[in-house]
Structure 1
Amino acid sequence: MASTTLLAVLLLVAASAAPARSCSPRDLQALLSVKQALGNPSTLSTWTPASPDCCSWDHLRCNDAGRVNNVFIDGADDVRGQIPSAVGGLTELMSLTLFRLAGLTGPIPACLAALSNLQFLTVSHTNVSGAIPESLARLRGLDSVDLSSNQLTGGIPASFADLPSLRSLDLGHNQLTGSIPAGLVQGQFRSLVLSYNQLTGPIPRDDARDEINTVDLSHNKLTGDPSHLFAAGRPIGKVDLSWNYLDFDLSQLVFPPEMTYLDLSHNLIRGTVPLSLERLSTLQKLDLSYNRLCGPLPKGHGVIKHGCKPYAHNQCRKGTPLAGCQDLEWSE
């Protein structure tokens, strides 16, 4: 009898300690509205009133309180329509991923600004179009924003530069125009990708010293001098500024020793190849081709180890032409 009572008590304690996982009725209704707005795709077949615990549905996750905090729909050919306004009803959402959905069209809706807990936003490889809404900057907890490979137009909202937690921003492969907002190239970024757009003007100056993993501003129409990106004491890993109209003297530039990737090709860069390249022992990718660099080419191992291709097609305007490196001997 005593053992039976003890077992009952233990079962009661275990049950009370288990986290509640029942689905929020509000979230369930919002998800069903999302499914309907997307054309009731078979991809979301588990999203049905016949299974009222939405925490068990595919393409989402719930927190311990039974609130939906992660929605991810990836590679579905049967999704059709615009991003549903009903998404704004998922108020505990921390992560939203809409990826490789060719049938997803229309603008990024203002309702996303209601997701005050959102940290990770991905709307990528879709046919979403229109401007990037300024209202996204109300989401102060955003850590990562990926709006790449869409049909977005207009400018980059200046308010993105004020997001205190944003560490990764990818707006590449769109049709964005205008200049890069002042303060956007901040030291707080670990990754900033704005490539394959139609951005113009200079790269805004930033004197921060925090480490940056990636800056990719390639395939735009940027001008001016980006030397401040390589400021002393600022570690940076990958820089791709190729296919722009950058015009500056490379001769005395000192690159951070931590660099692993440097592509400055297809610009209007002048001067000579700097000696600081010899000290980049971790550099795996180098391309300085299709510029206006002049000779002589440094003979150190750190320069020659990349072969001749990174220095090809340089049209020196004033000075000794940049000689081919075929006859240069490696030196340590």
Structure 2
Amino acid sequence: MGTILGLCFLLLLSFSHVAFSGRCNPEDKKVLLQIKKDLNNPYLLASWNPETACCDWYCVECDPKTHRITSLIISSSVPETNFSGQIPPSVGDLPYLQVLEFHKLPKLTGPIQPAIAKLTNLRWLILTWTNISGPIPDFLSELPNLQWLHLSFNNPTGPIPSSLSKLPNLIDLRLDRNRLTGPIPDSFGSFKKPGIDLTLSHNQLSGPIPTSLGLIDPNRIDFSRNMLEGDASMLFGVNKTTEMIDLSRNLLTFDMSKVELPTSLISLDLNHNQIYGSIPQELIKVDFLQAFNVSYNRLCGEIPQGGRLQRFQVDTYFHNRCLCGSPLPSCK
């Protein structure tokens, strides 16, 4: 008798799963099929069969109660995929979408579609490793719930729009490995969320770092491999909680001996700049420093003895004007 009841219970669970997964909002389904058509019916979306429920399709997720599409993540590890075209404007017709991601799609081209501005519930916008081009549009600042904006490894050109600082909930901005030009916007000193990650590396950004950035307390800053110049001391501060700063391979010029370093630092990379002065004695108090590089600068004086500074290799310090002391040759 117990076996029969157990089988009935399993059948009931199976039926419940089919009943749940079989649900699909007809309007969302219509939009998804249009997206598939606009992308030339790629094999990647072969499961998008109009005869089946869209909540069962690959690349999408539904809200378990409303059965509306909340996530659309299209990614491919196969370069030969027939996935091609531009970002379909119809993505803007998924009003409950919280996550939109197109990743590793080299045949995805064209601009970032204005229709994305309609996705007011969007929290993650990730367009990475594609061939989208054109400017980064101002309308992205109209997404009030956006937390992650990743536009890395693409072909956008032109300046970074200052309007991005209006995003009230942004905690992670990645614009690295594009072809962006011009300065870092002065408005970036007004980001609302503490602990924001700012990754702008591997572009062609130029000019000074805005002094306004001294007003924020980011978790991570990566401005490496640009053409930034002048002072960067405003990014530091003994009262900040920043864990990672990478300013390597720029044209920065400032006195490092006057910099007050946050004790929260885990990684600090300043190599290939024109930084002068000496390494601050306070750096020995940074207990969790795991990565450090000041090579190819104009630093002088003795490397502070103690803390973690002697654990790094010689190449951390070499090609400076007159640095000395362990692990470099002793000072005379």
What TM-score bracket applies, with the shorter chain setting the length?
A: 0.7 to 0.9
Q: Deviations over 1:310-332 (max 9, x none)?
A: 11111x3xxxx223634668xxx
Consecutive unaligned residues of structure 2, counting only runs of 5 or more, are 1-11
Tell me which of 184, 197, 201 is aligned to 2:188.
184
Match of 2:171, as an amino acid? R
Indicate the residue corresponding to 1:231 in structure 2.
237
In structure 1, how many angstroms separate the alpha carbons of the residues matched to 2:294 and 2:113? 41
1:217 counterpart = 2:223? yes
Indicate the residue corresponding to 2:69 in structure 1.
68
SS at match of 1:196: coil
1:170 counterpart = 2:170? no
In structure 1, how many angstroms separate the alpha carbons of the residues matched to 2:109 and 2:216? 40
1:55 counterpart = 2:59? no
Indicate the residue corresponding to 2:292 in structure 1.
286
Q: Deviations over 1:148-175 (max 9, x none)?
A: 0001101111110111000000000000
| Gap change, CA 1:213 and 1:21, over 3 Å in 2 | farther
State the percentage of identical aligned residues: 40
Q: Is the 8 A contact 1:85 1:111 kept in 2?
A: yes
Q: Is the 8 A contact 2:21 2:55 kept in 1?
A: no
In structure 2, how many angstroms separate the alpha carbons of the residues matched to 1:141 and 1:280? 35
1:149 counterpart = 2:127? no
In structure 2, how many angstroms separate the alpha carbons of the residues matched to 1:176 and 1:207? 23
Match of 1:59, as an amino acid? C
| Gap change, CA 1:327 and 1:249, over 3 Å in 2 | closer
| Gap change, CA 1:34 and 1:209, over 3 Å in 2 | closer
Deviation at 1:306, TM superposition (A): 1.4
Query: When you count helix as a share of all residues, which structure comes out higher?
Result: 2
Residues 1-332 of structure 1: pairs in structure 2 closer than 5 A: 22-51=23-52, 53-63=53-63, 64-75=65-76, 77-185=81-189, 186=191, 188-205=194-211, 206-208=213-215, 210=217, 212-314=218-320, 316=321, 321-323=322-324, 325-326=326-327
Match of 1:166, as an amino acid? L
Match of 1:112, as an amino acid? I
Q: Is the 8 A contact 2:266 2:291 kept in 1?
A: yes
Match of 2:276, as an amino acid? R
Deviation at 1:119, TM superposition (A): 0.7
Q: Is the 8 A contact 1:166 1:188 kept in 2?
A: no
In structure 2, how many angstroms separate the alpha carbons of the residues matched to 1:144 and 1:130? 20
SS at match of 2:324: coil
TM-score, with length taken from structure 1:
0.88
Deviation at 1:113, TM superposition (A): 0.4
In structure 2, how many angstroms separate the alpha carbons of the residues matched to 1:305 and 1:275? 16
In structure 2, how many angstroms separate the alpha carbons of the residues matched to 1:79 and 1:41? 5
Matched length: 307
In structure 2, how many angstroms separate the alpha carbons of the residues matched to 1:223 and 1:328? 31
Q: CA RMSD in A?
A: 2.0
Consecutive unaligned residues of structure 1, counting only runs of 5 or more, are 1-10
Q: Is the 8 A contact 1:272 1:295 kept in 2?
A: yes
Deviation at 1:276, TM superposition (A): 1.5
Indicate the residue corresponding to 2:4 in structure 1.
none
Q: Which runs of 4+ in 1 moved over 6 A?
A: 18-21
Deviation at 1:294, TM superposition (A): 1.2
